[in-house]
């Protein structure tokens, strides 16, 4: 009950009072009250019990896949990890935890995975369940079951998967090698240990140098040499396996999120449209900012062209993506205190109904610009009247710079601007169907 109350938002200090109150109303008597410290311990113990259950579920699985993602908050990096467990065709998604890391490099991500799996193994192997059942959960067991990973379709994730695959190969070969050692006669194992001991003394330089090392240093060197020997045996044992057994050990898939590919394809579409328009065709109206627009207008009125005018024309953008980005920043800004969120919602709610909020194009979400273009095309006339509606609601009947770029319906009214929107929408729809496998 303490877990449920805390999860529902109840303060740890008030959990005991709530339990007493509920017991009183249901006719039960509770002698003592759960203190804040007791609640904290119950939550900690619940977390440890969840990790033990997690490790047991992995050990009993037919196979697992791993996934992870990261984000930053106030310049601190956080990694979230999940594991999908497959048992008899049924799948359960389990969260491995959220951890803070020093950076987002592939090496750090792999080290985070190693630390979390090692922690699971240590907790489970020390619990009473493992002692009673004489059962253990090892890192090698997890890697043997690991059949794939998925994450962002980015270069760092590709490297992370490559490093995880190398880790899986190393540990599984060592596991096969240890199985070969366990199958040997005791006399053979003693000979191997003696040879490794002589090799370590030779590498140390002399026997007196080896004796001068601490016990921990000698144990570390011996373990390292035994691991190398086990890997060599395991590599040879793996080569002797059948193709089916090799596939069972080495099977590994990787799936990348298509969001980044969608973003790249949207960028490529914009560049292709710009290049196409440069072929002596009338492109969408330039959506210049306040200063550049004044420079361009002055040049048109005077009929002169200066370096400042050429620069203003060059850096001023237009087209579907620019229009959608401006409108999204104006009516659904990432900062709720900026823009006209409520005005847009109130304006379109009688027309659209539920889901009136404009797509969040400020985030790199899948299909955000495609959905924004679909909204504008579907309600084109209403969007043309949006800026005059907002301007007329103001006391001074004026708009800010970003609003002025949208006012006058310049891009939406021009044939090439509407065509650009329609092509973007059709391209996004095609990519969406391809991603869905249609």
pLDDT at residue 118 in the model: 93
**Beta-carbon contacts of residue 259 (< 8 Å; ≥ 6 apart):** 152, 153, 364, 365, 366
What are 150-188's pLDDT values in tens digits? Answer: 888 778 888 999 999 999 999 999 999 988 888 888 888
What are 332-365's pLDDT values in tens digits? Answer: 888 878 878 888 888 888 888 877 888 888 776 6
pLDDT at residue 125 in the model: 92
How large is the average pLDDT for residues 318-341? Answer: 80
How large is the average pLDDT for residues 320-331? Answer: 82
A 10 A CB-CB count for 268 gives 11
Q: What is the DSSP letter of 126?
A: T
- Tell me the Cα Rg of the chain: 32
pLDDT at residue 195 in the model: 87
- The tokens of 400 are what? 């800010």
Q: Give the domain ranges of the chain.
A: 2-34, 48-257, 259-284+319-435, 292-316
A 10 A CB-CB count for 157 gives 22
The enclosing H or E element of 80 equals strand 76-87
Does 320 have pLDDT greater than 50?
A: yes
What are 214-260's pLDDT values in tens digits? Answer: 888 888 888 888 888 899 999 999 999 999 999 988 899 988 876 66
Q: What's the pLDDT band for 405 if we cut at 50, 70, 90?
A: very low
How large is the average pLDDT for residues 403-414? Answer: 49
Of the candidates 355, 365, 356, 285, which has an alpha carbon nearest to the alpha carbon of residue 318?
A: 285
Which string of DSSP letters, residue by residue, matches 156-207? HHHHHHHHHHHHHHHHHHHHHHHHHHHTS-HHHHHHHHHHHHHHHHHHHSSH
Q: What's the pLDDT band for 436 if we cut at 50, 70, 90?
A: very low
Burial of residue 72 (CB within 10 Å: 0-12, 13-18, 19+) is exposed
Does 30 have pLDDT greater than 60?
A: yes
pLDDT at residue 142 in the model: 92
Q: Of 53-57, 190-194, 260-264, where does the model show the most confidence? A: 53-57
pTM of the model: 0.65
The enclosing H or E element of 283 equals none
pLDDT at residue 409 in the model: 44
């Amino acid at each position: 009950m303490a877990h449920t109350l805390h999860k529902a938002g109840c303060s740890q200090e008030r959990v005991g009072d709530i339990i007493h109150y509920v017991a009183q109303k249901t006719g039960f008597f509770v002698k003592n009250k759960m203190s804040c410290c007791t609640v904290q311990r119950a939550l900690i113990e619940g977390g440890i019990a969840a990790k033990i259950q997690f490790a047991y579920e992995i050990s009993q699985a037919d196979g697992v896949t791993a996934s992870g993602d990261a984000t930053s908050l106030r310049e601190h990096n956080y990694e979230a990890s999940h594991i999908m467990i497959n048992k008899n065709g049924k799948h359960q998604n389990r969260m491995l935890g959220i951890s803070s890391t020093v950076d987002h490099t592939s090496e750090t991500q792999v080290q985070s995975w190693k630390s979390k799996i090692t922690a699971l193994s240590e907790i489970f192997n020390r619990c009473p369940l493992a002692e009673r059942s004489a059962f253990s959960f090892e890192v090698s067991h997890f890697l043997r079951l690991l059949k794939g990973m998925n994450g962002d379709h980015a270069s760092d994730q590709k490297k992370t998967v490559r490093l995880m695959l190398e880790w899986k190969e190393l540990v599984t070969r060592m596991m096969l090698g240890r199985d070969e050692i366990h199958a040997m006669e005791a006399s053979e194992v003693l000979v191997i240990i003696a040879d490794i001991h002589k090799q370590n003394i030779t590498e140390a330089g002399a026997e007196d140098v080896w004796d001068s090392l601490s016990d921990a240093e000698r144990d570390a060197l011996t373990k390292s040499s035994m691991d190398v020997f086990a890997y060599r045996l395991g590599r040879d044992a793996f080569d002797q396996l059948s193709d089916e057994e090799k596939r069972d050990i080495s099977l590994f898939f990787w799936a990348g999120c298509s969001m980044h590919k969608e973003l790249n394809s949207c960028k490529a579409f914009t560049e292709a449209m710009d290049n196409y328009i440069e072929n002596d065709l009338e492109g969408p109206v330039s959506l210049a900012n306040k200063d550049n627009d004044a420079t361009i207008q002055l040049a048109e009125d005077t009929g002169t062209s200066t370096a400042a005018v050429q620069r203003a024309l060059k850096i001023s953008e237009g087209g579907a993506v620019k229009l959608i980005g401006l409108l999204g920043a104006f009516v659904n800004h990432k900062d709720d205190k900026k823009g006209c969120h409520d005005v847009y919602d109130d304006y379109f709610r009688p027309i659209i109904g539920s889901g009136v909020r404009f797509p969040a194009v400020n985030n790199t979400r899948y299909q955000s610009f495609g959905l924004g273009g679909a909204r504008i095309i579907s309600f084109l006339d209403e969007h043309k009247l949006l800026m005059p509606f907002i301007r007329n609601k103001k006391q001074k009947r004026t708009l800010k710079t970003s609003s002025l770029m949208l006012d006058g319906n310049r891009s939406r009214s021009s044939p090439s601007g509407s065509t650009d929107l329609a092509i973007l929408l059709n391209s996004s729809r095609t990519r969406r169907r391809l991603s869905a496998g249609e």
